[in-house]
Copies of this chain bind each other. A is one copy, B any other.
Amino acid sequence: MNLKIAVLSGDGIGPEVILQAKKTLYAIGVVYDHEFVFEDALMGAVAIDKTGKPLPEQTLNLCLNTDAVLFGAIGDPKYDNNPSAKVRPEQGLLKLRKELGLFANIRPIKPYKSLLDSSPLKRHIIEGADFTIFRELTGGVYFGEKKLNDAGTIASDLCEYSEEEITRITHLAFKAAQNRRKKVTMVDKANVLETSRLWRKVVKKVSENYPDVLLDFLFVDNAAMQIILNPKQFDVILTENLFGDILSDEASVITGSIGLLASASLGNKNALFEPIHGSYPQAKGKNIANPIASILSAAMLLEHFGLHKEAKKVYEAVEKAIEYNVVTIDLKADSKFGTNEVGDFISNVI
């Protein structure tokens, strides 16, 4: 197979972890005779620094015309602590998601056997947990109108959803559930929010097409608790943009480190793959960031193109690294391996 992949390393630890994902894909290409052509482009704080824009036209055009996007991380404290900055790195990622129509963000959560004791949660709570979060990614409060009055004293964000936006991701979630344990848990705040009530109505309607899948509902406050109390109850979690953002970071504790969690963002035409951790600026350039989330994002990319045995090979290589303790300090405080060494190990095993 021949794939053209746009690589947006982004900010903070983005470049160093994405480099390991590229190494991995390169190794897969050699072993299985595929050609992956990488094209680097700017996005985020680094793009603002160089071009004034968080998502330069050139980057967007490239992403629109490649088979897939591999993305690192975005964000820089110099913007976070400046509430009145007009241009912000995150705008680049949000615009990219919107322009590529990446409406479904898929985040699998499953602890590794050899890491069952690395979680802050007790082993019996997490052993056997295996669920996937389907987070709506191009709607909700992320994209609704934002206002600040002239005096700078009143601000607002609009959360908006349409039946169509809800329908398309709901189908994906139910299809995924059909290939899993056949349960979808819709998370919302329908006792307070109008948008949540629309979600509930639409999801119920769509669910009629999938009589083999069980549908249940949880309020988001309860869900945030249940994910910790009893993560095994979940199979597919379906939720809106902001709730998905919060719950997926929270759920990362089940695996022991957010540095292990990959995600795929899918649209009708385009696809983007990214680790769910952020730019982690404190670790930048120190060779301590965990590259596994990025490497697993590359594996999700392979799966997306039907390269299942190749993806499996990557999963196995990652498991081997974890099993042999070739991991970064987030997983083993006294580890002598860094970002690069973990990436090398994994690509060498392939």
Contact = CB atoms under 8 A, between A and B. Distances in A.
A311 to B, nearest CB: 27
Contact of A194 (B89, B155, B198, B200): B155
A3 B213 CA distance: 54
Interface in A252-307: 252-253, 258, 278
A348 interface: no
A229 B146 contact: no
A192 interface: yes
A7 to B, nearest CB: 22
Interface stretch (A12-20, A33-41, A177-185, A215-223): A215-223
A249 interface: yes
A131 to B, nearest CB: 16
A136 interface: no
A64 interface: no
Interface string A141-176: 110101110001111111111111000000000000
A195 interface: yes
Which one of A122, A146, A195, A221 has the highest number of Cβ atoms from chain B below 10 Å of its Cβ? A221
Contacts of A195: 155-157
Given A80-B217, A154-B162, A146 B247 contact: no
Contacts of A83: 190, 197-198, 200-201
A88 interface: yes
A191 interface: yes
Contact of A90 (B88, B191, B230): B191
17 contacts: A83-B201, A84-B201, A89-B191, A120-B125, A122-B122, A144-B156, A146-B193, A147-B194, A152-B201, A153-B162, A154-B198, A158-B158, A224-B224, A224-B250, A225-B252, A225-B258, A229-B253
Interface of A: 75, 79-81, 83-84, 88-90, 94, 120-122, 125, 141-142, 144, 146-148, 152-164, 189-195, 197-198, 200-201, 217, 220-222, 224-225, 228-230, 242-243, 245-250, 252-253, 258, 278
